[in-house]
Structure 1
């Protein structure tokens, strides 16, 4: 075969190269861009319907072309410590669920990324309620709240009315007299009902911490000195609070061995207080509780009607190769529109409703308008300040362990009140001063 002129060969090679380049470009254009993978570790915080969290992550992944989240759900018993150890060892998740208030060790070790480094704008941060200050450290925010918790009073309307009370107690004095009357009148009628029970005394021991801190706060007490260096529970306010709680057991108003929540559901306890999210557990009592209970603000103590603050936030690990990807997920899951869904289990909406889209405010207002519990919850929320939770951040683990044993022993009379309070201060003080 006759050879082709060099010019024709060059032209053919150029055309073939152009076709190959065009085909490669088309293949690359049709191939989806690789997504950044974000690992998210959490406990099943959606009360009553834990699978809803999995569905939310699936919804996020389906909506994204640049970020994909891998979900790991841990148990409540070991989850927090598992996360902390992994993060401190540099092997933790990119994003995780944290208690509002955040871990001081992680903050001081610079293990957490501030929200403004994750893509949050000043406008984003300005939408949160002022209580977001519980997640502040050295002037920057490190946690995006999903929802807040506060302690409220839960009472059985049917039991109170049966023994002559049409309204819940509004003060410590009224709480004490109402509970005592219910206990004595029910006993005389042949079926003893505890007028009041402190949650954490005989069930879910960890609950004694928020219970105790609420009553300490109402007595005017503080967990630490203003500089966070000294534990200050052995105080006049501490003695007032613990002696008040102890009087319910000394005078046999409360019954040792009775679960506050289970007793409430069964009709064996007339009143108790805890975070408002426990309402989901009460509602699960169905015919045992349906229409028979209500929520009220905490009875006001000698100094105030404040209570412990709780709830959960999202945080991210510092030093991520793509912090914007973590921020994209956090701004979605902790967004105003998604946060309305947490109101289904009575999680308190963390945003100022005057600063969210109108359609989101409509959803929030619909919860307020259809469930009478919200009026009491928000009254209690408005009494809350970040002070107690910011104090609790310092010496947290030592304090919560000490309170679980010493508060219970002081309240049930096994340990003198002064001794119990001194013991708490001693154990927490050792931790505050570095061991």
Structure 2
């Protein structure tokens, strides 16, 4: 069980959720060491359905685990994406809730500072096991220890309609910011003239999925050489020359009407009315669901390189365990199974990025991984993009995360569409996030 000081810290850091369940905040956890009659340790697992497009897959995976085990049994509580994270936070703040749960890669600082998550070495992970993860697994480190077991990674990439680019004379996707702007503008103008009415480009998040502006913006900020915070995470650093370069570049697409505010990047792409857009590679599942509208008419490319680099936002999900659970070994047994190379390679079926170094897994798993990569040409640009990315953005993003994502949704959109001057939009983000950073110290 966590020390009393850590419990108090958790109650303070998650005050907004603890207030909802104030009567329970002093209660102990409800982890169960076993179930009567079967002699098994029982692990409570709460998760959103991370297998994209097949919500029933999560229960299937848990059933497979339970069938394979003699000493551990998992009870699944399946949550919805719209409020699942909040339900976990409320339960943990109340001293209740799951033994294992799903969390974004990068993890949430409140849980880490409160000691609410058990480090992997306390769950039975060896150095050899954690050493097999990709270097990007450092996004789940805190004060020198690894706290999350990555299920898979996401990386921001560019999707483009091969049929549209070919129609307007382009045999390959743009590779730089300048090429992107030139290509997108030409497609918009020429398609307007011939009556096709195609937008050459749309920034995901400037459409009907506003939350996506966070990953989009952070990718372009990174490409301009910017950062979210200072190296010590104490200062918000978006109102810089790099920030202005990134926002002015994005703004130019709307000033000259290359991109229309409000047009759905994904739906427009599926319908052939948006030629290119950026997002995590996991959106491929949605594109493929377009059937005949998209089959054989699109592809993936790395992000066009900006003035500083071709980096992009990293995402994905990890498993974490409750430090107050009564059987950390059993929790570790389940996490090792669900986030194992053998299971993670299956997640590539919904285009999730394998979180292990293929050279450090069993030969049979490596063979399957390599076969999947060879079977789909889109894996080549996805893996190229993965190689451009570092843990830096996610490690910065966990500091002031909730405030930053709300501030960016408002101010980035306002700055890009011209409602606010660029410097005011960036200053607004820094001011809001700065207060959160100060409060967190």
Corresponding position of 1:16: none
CA RMSD of aligned residues (A): 1.0
Question: Quick one: distance in 1 between partners of 2:377 and 2:107?
Answer: 31
Partner deviation per Cα, 1:146-173 (whole Å, 9 max, x = no partner):
0000000100000000011110000000
Corresponding position of 2:256: 251
Corresponding position of 1:370: 375
Q: Any conservation in 2 of the 1:35–1:68 contact (CA below 8 Å)? A: yes
Question: Quick one: distance in 2 between partners of 1:148 and 1:384?
Answer: 11
Question: Quick one: distance in 2 between partners of 1:137 and 1:233?
Answer: 24
Partner deviation per Cα, 1:118-164 (whole Å, 9 max, x = no partner):
01011111110111000000000000000000000100000000011
Deviation of the 1:81 alpha carbon: 1.5
Partner deviation per Cα, 1:332-357 (whole Å, 9 max, x = no partner):
00000000111001100000111100
Q: Any conservation in 2 of the 1:223–1:232 contact (CA below 8 Å)? A: yes
Corresponding position of 2:201: 196
**Mapped pair 1:170 → 2:175:** yes
**Mapped pair 1:430 → 2:439:** no
Aligned length: 405
**Mapped pair 1:278 → 2:283:** yes
Deviation of the 1:277 alpha carbon: 0.3
Corresponding position of 2:413: 408
Under a length normalisation based on structure 2, what TM-score does the superposition of the two structures give?
Answer: 0.91
- After superposition, residues 158-237 of structure 1 pair within 5 angstroms as 158-237=163-242
Q: Which one of 44, 61, 81 corresponds to residue 56 of structure 1?
A: 61
Q: Any conservation in 2 of the 1:158–1:293 contact (CA below 8 Å)? A: yes
Deviation of the 1:32 alpha carbon: 7.2
SS of 2:45's equivalent?
strand
Partner deviation per Cα, 1:25-74 (whole Å, 9 max, x = no partner):
xxxxxx97511110111111110111111100000001111111011111
Q: Which one of 329, 332, 352 corresponds to residue 334 of structure 2?
A: 329
Under a length normalisation based on structure 1, what TM-score does the superposition of the two structures give?
Answer: 0.92
Q: Which one of 106, 109, 112 corresponds to residue 101 of structure 1?
A: 106
**Mapped pair 1:297 → 2:267:** no
**Mapped pair 1:111 → 2:116:** yes
Corresponding position of 1:239: 244
**Mapped pair 1:262 → 2:261:** no
Q: Unpaired runs of 5+ in structure 2?
A: 1-35
Deviation of the 1:191 alpha carbon: 2.1
Q: Which one of 89, 92, 111 corresponds to residue 97 of structure 2?
A: 92
Q: Any conservation in 2 of the 1:33–1:65 contact (CA below 8 Å)? A: no
Partner deviation per Cα, 1:60-114 (whole Å, 9 max, x = no partner):
0011111110111111111111111211221121000000000000000000000
Deviation of the 1:319 alpha carbon: 2.2
Question: Quick one: distance in 2 between partners of 1:222 and 1:249?
Answer: 24
**Mapped pair 1:387 → 2:431:** no
Partner deviation per Cα, 1:354-381 (whole Å, 9 max, x = no partner):
1100000011001110000000000000
Question: Quick one: distance in 2 between partners of 1:329 and 1:204?
Answer: 34
Question: Quick one: distance in 2 between partners of 1:107 and 1:342?
Answer: 27
User: Stretches of 4+ moved more than 4 A in 1?
Assistant: none
SS of 1:40's equivalent?
strand
Q: Unpaired runs of 5+ in structure 1?
A: 1-30
